[in-house]
Structure 1
Amino acid sequence: MEVQFDAYPADIVGLDVVVTSVASDAHTWNLVYLQLLLEELGHRVTNLGACVPDQLMVDECRARRPDLIVISTVNGHGFVDGKRVVRLLRRCPELHTTPLVIGGKLGIAGGEPGSVSVELLEAGVDAVFEGNSAIVGFRDFVQSLPSGVRQ
């Protein structure tokens, strides 16, 4: 007799979320934290892990067609790597309108939080989360999205 385990019961009406990091970032604690937070809010999470090559991220998101893509970075290169991969994601017709956010330590210059936000927004992210209030803003953003609605 084969026993199947479904981590996400059919009656959960949350979002399908992809959590990932950029190709240069080997940190994982931030990804696990975000996964647990999102699951606590009732969402289904696919965590692609750390050091995700750009094309792998694009391919996985195209295949999964998530309701939300979350890019988290801690190494300080999120601005450069994030801007590049966001442009690739936005070139895909099936991901063009998918909510896409980025957060964490986005630069190494020590600038004020928000100093790179404009360029990331222009590249195609819907929201940028950094600084002391990042997690509160992220939670509010996620809770503002319509749950269970597929694009």
Structure 2
Amino acid sequence: MPKTSALETLIELAQTRTDDAARRLGFLNAQGLDMEAKLVLLTQYSDEYQSRFRASMQQGLTAAGWRNYHEFIDKLDAAISQQQEALALMRQRVAASEAAWQSERRVLNSYGTLAQRHRQIQLAHQARREQRETDEWANSAAIRPGST
């Protein structure tokens, strides 16, 4: 079994870290989308409830009914505000996670570049060695008597 080089070990580790960062980013993106959907639902519900409130106002509304509508709309507004803050924080987390993933990807690409250069150097050494062996064989064949 061939011995794993230090560079190959670093590449495997960088690949694992890049994959982990990508999974975290995907998870956070999914959470962000869920949070955005929840905000949209809250906003739609608030709009609908305010429309109902306006319609009730036109038909005549008791003081208790007006107070109930108003308290509920205030609670919806607070929930919307809280969801907007949570979404803003999630967007920051997503941005940080994306930056971390890009950083890990750059490290992986750097190791890949190093490995490619190492392979090119090895191929050049092998080509020179093969050329040297071919030259030595040709020289020894030319020196041997009766080879003409």
TM-score, structure 2 as length reference: 0.20
Specify which structure has the higher proportion of strand: 1
Q: Which has the larger radius of gyration?
A: 2
Does 1 or 2 have the higher relative contact order (CA < 8 Å, sep 6+)? 2
Specify which structure has the higher proportion of helix: 2
TM-score, structure 1 as length reference: 0.20
